[in-house]
Structure 1
Amino acid sequence: MAYRLVRARPKVDRLVELRERLDTGEIEAMDPFGRAMTRALEDARFDPASGEAVWIEEDYCSPPLAMERTEVLDDYFEDITIVEEDVDDQR
């Protein structure tokens, strides 16, 4: 299992929709990554210095975050960067 440190610039005008999709469980129900993505986005933090969201994503894809980007992340974030490929998730 790989945990990746991710940074991305939120599309501010889309965040209300993302919040609604998280709250209704729509994203959590996506197989196979929904539960992990919901947890990661719920735990995401805002970096005021850069204006980016930062989170740790559990990921099994090659290339990294492929399914997550196609189904969710690219709709709500720009400039998605995997800062570190294999972090130790201590949540």
Structure 2
Amino acid sequence: MANRFVRARPKEDRLVELRERLDNNEIAAMEPFGRAMTRALEKARFDSESGEAVWIEEDYCSPPLAMERAEVLDDYFEDITIVKEDVDEEVGWQRIDDLPRLWAEILDEA
């Protein structure tokens, strides 16, 4: 298992749907990655300078985030980049803690 430091450009017109899927636990129910993905996306931040969502995600895939991208991420984000493939989870979140939460920024604009 590794924790991935992820950056991705949100498809802003699709994020209300993603928020609904998170809220109704649809994504959390996906095996084997749903709970980890839900935790990560719930805590995701927004980098207004780059226009990207950033988060730390627990991942078991090779290539990284393969299942997550196929089932969820590619529907809601573009230009998904693994910035660091194995980051300490706590350190990673601390690195982006000063950024505003993704959902506050995006949904306030919707």
**Per-residue deviation, 1:41:** 0.2
Q: Which runs of 5+ in 2 are unaligned?
A: 94-110
TM-score (norm 2): 0.81
Q: How many residues align?
A: 91
Q: Find the aligned partners of 2:80 and 2:57 in 1 and give their Cα distance.
A: 12
Q: Show CA shifts across 1:30-79 (max 9, x none).
A: 00000000000001000000000000010000000000000000000000
Higher strand share: 1
Q: Find the aligned partners of 1:88 and 1:68 in 2 and give their Cα distance.
A: 20
Aligned to 1:38: 38
TM-score (norm 1): 0.98
Aligned to 2:74: 74
SS of 2:36's partner is helix
Larger RCO (alpha carbons 8 Å, 6+ apart): 1
Q: Find the aligned partners of 2:12 and 2:68 in 1 and give their Cα distance.
A: 19
Identity among equivalent positions (%) equals: 84
| Aligned residues: CA RMSD | 0.7
Name segments (4+ residues, structure 1) moved above 6 Å.
Answer: none
Q: Which runs of 5+ in 1 are unaligned?
A: none
Q: Show CA shifts across 1:9-49 (max 9, x none).
A: 00000000000000000000000000000000001000000
Q: Find the aligned partners of 2:4 and 2:76 in 1 and give their Cα distance.
A: 18
Higher helix share: 2
Q: Find the aligned partners of 2:80 and 2:41 in 1 and give their Cα distance.
A: 13
Alignment of structure 1 residues 19-34 onto 2, 5 Å: 19-34=19-34
Q: Find the aligned partners of 2:2 and 2:65 in 1 and give their Cα distance.
A: 11
